[in-house]
Structure 1
């Protein structure tokens, strides 16, 4: 078997050859319980000249992908080493096939890529991958906690300079499993410019975390009361839930922006202070009325 089929050191081969554009369809992300039998990942593409279909496994802890096996439209598939005991490769026709995990183990959690080529020594074309997570029965499904860190005070101070930027950092932590996506909104409108998210989640013990960033012009941040939302979508195996953090922009020179908690605290404090002021004013008014009444009563007695 050619050495090129044993290990793939990069995620994608250089795309060259007569095929300029190949469209792939792979199964969406999956969450399954440990011990689930026959987990199936489907793959299809739109070029019948690519007769060889290959399957790769990429684990987060690895810098490379491992070839599971490959097969033609007809005939038995070829497997790499021990993978034949764990997986089964099937083909419906030239452009459709599937990878079947015989029995899901925790070690099967990975991203599985379908690829296709004309011959073994030709470039391979890859699908987007299917993320599979085999749930650990000892870890409960836990949604993320989301918090936004305001821009540093040292990160550009002149809001009139159009080149100056402010960076907001969104931290989602304490979740399991790690099927999440991060997106941003300003005043309820989705934004994509200046957005960056970690390529992969980080695991601390049993739970995961991920960080996203939003860079905006300083003048955009220095608008008091402007809302900046970071929302994290979390797939728990049956449906997707959404978890958000919120901060408010601030005027230049006022220091850090306000979180939702700070904003509510300030408004509540302001309401309480106003209430105390009204109460004191009312008491003072009563005191003045009593004083006037006593003075009038005293003047009346003196005139008699």
Structure 2
């Protein structure tokens, strides 16, 4: 095992860790109907590599080996309805064709380049092709995108050092089909990647029969309280022919419901005064009740005598 590990590590050092960038798949996304025979192409630029492996990753992340091509001969796995044609050498194209697809054929398909002569050579993967087999009669539907401002109760204090508190904006894309989407954020015209949290995958609404996805952006409060800053959420949707963009924007709000130190002190001072007045009124009321009780008792004694 140590010998195998060292040999593999040596090959990776010689070849470089970035050889995945030399394995190309086309197209990156693909729709088809059940009667179609979708084709996925793979090409690599790695010297001496002459074997292409094909895999399918289902939505539950399991990988299925579909077959491989040695130089110019394709070898599909038994029971897998695919054909593998073309060539596996540098600069040539190897094509995976899916036969008899159904809804379960949806997934991400990967090719990987390796060398068929030495088993210790690593395999370098392409970026994958996301395939969706459309339900009968359904057409791609783009998303509706909305941005929701931060809650007024989230980190309301404005007087912390450097305003290091943060506000959370929420972007919701809903009503789209299928789930070929990605989400990005911008502050004015600048891309933002820090403090962005997007759902790892779109969620299927089984009642409405559409997908939804949510992304959250946390920004420093000093940005949110500047109306000249525009926050944009851009949803990229593949419609079967090209990627379309669906943006939504919201501007900062300097009149947001914040709690400054002065406002906090004023509210607490007013509360103290109100509480003191309430205590005084209670005492006066108690004294009045005691006086009335005493008067009633005195009148009662006089009548008895």
TM-score (norm 2): 0.70
**Length, aligned pairs only:** 238
| 1:73 corresponds to | 71
Q: Is the 8 A contact 2:43 2:88 kept in 1?
A: no
What SS does the aligned partner of 1:30 have?
Answer: strand
- Give yes or no for contact 1:59–1:111 (8 Å, CA) kept in 2: yes
Matched, 1:90 2:89: no
**Match of 1:18, SS?**
helix
Q: Residue 99 of structure 2: SS of its match in structure 1?
A: strand
- Match of 2:250, SS state, is strand
The residue number in structure 2 matching 1:168 is 169
Q: State the partner residue of 2:56.
A: 57
Deviates more, 1:119-128 or 1:167-176: 119-128
Aligned counterpart in structure 2 of residue 241 of structure 1, from 229, 234, 244:
244
Task: Work out whether residues 17 and 123 of structure 1, in 8 Å CA contact, stay in contact via their aligned partners in 2.
Answer: no
C-alpha distance after superposition, 1:6-46 (max 9, x if no partner): xxxxxxx9994532131111112111222113x21111111
Counting only pairs closer than 5 Å after superposition, residues 192-211 of structure 1 correspond to structure 2 as: 192-205=193-206, 206-211=209-214
| Kept after mapping to 1: 8 A contact 2:145/2:246 | yes
- TM-superposed CA distance for 1:125, in Å, is 1.3
Q: Is the 8 A contact 2:69 2:88 kept in 1?
A: no
Unaligned 5+ runs, structure 2? 1-7, 259-305
Please state how far the C-alpha of 1:88 moved relative to its aligned partner: 0.9
Deviation at 1:188, TM superposition (A): 4.0
How do 1:96-107 and structure 2 match up within 5 A? 96-107=93-104
1:110 corresponding residue in structure 2: 107
SS in 2 for 1:213: strand
Instruction: Specify whether residues 172 and 91 from structure 1 end up closer, same or farther in structure 2 by C-alpha distance, changes over 3 A only.
Output: same
Post-superposition shift, 1:68?
A: 0.8
Under a length normalisation based on structure 1, what TM-score does the superposition of the two structures give?
0.70
Structure 1 unmatched runs, 5+: 1-12, 256-304
2:33–2:136 CA contact under 8 A, matched in 1:
yes
Counterpart for residue 8 of structure 1 = none
- Per-residue deviation, residues 158-185 of structure 1 (Å, max 9, x unmatched): 4453532222121111100112221222
Aligned CA distance change for structure 1 residues 254 and 155 (closer, same or farther; 3 Å): closer
CA distance in 1, matches of 2:123, 2:188: 44
How big is each residue's C-alpha offset from its partner over 1:189-222, in whole Å with a ceiling of 9 and x where there is no partner?
4333333322221112221111222222111112
**Is the CA contact (8 Å cut-off) linking 2:54 and 2:110 kept in structure 1?**
yes
Q: Which residue of 2 aligns with 1:30?
A: 30
Q: Counterparts in 2 of 1:2-13, with a 5 A limit? A: none
Q: Distance in 2 between matches of 1:24 and 1:123?
A: 13
Question: Per-residue CA shift, 1:130-157, capped at 9, x if unaligned?
Answer: 1111211243432111121222334333
Contact 1:25 1:43 in 2 (8 A): yes
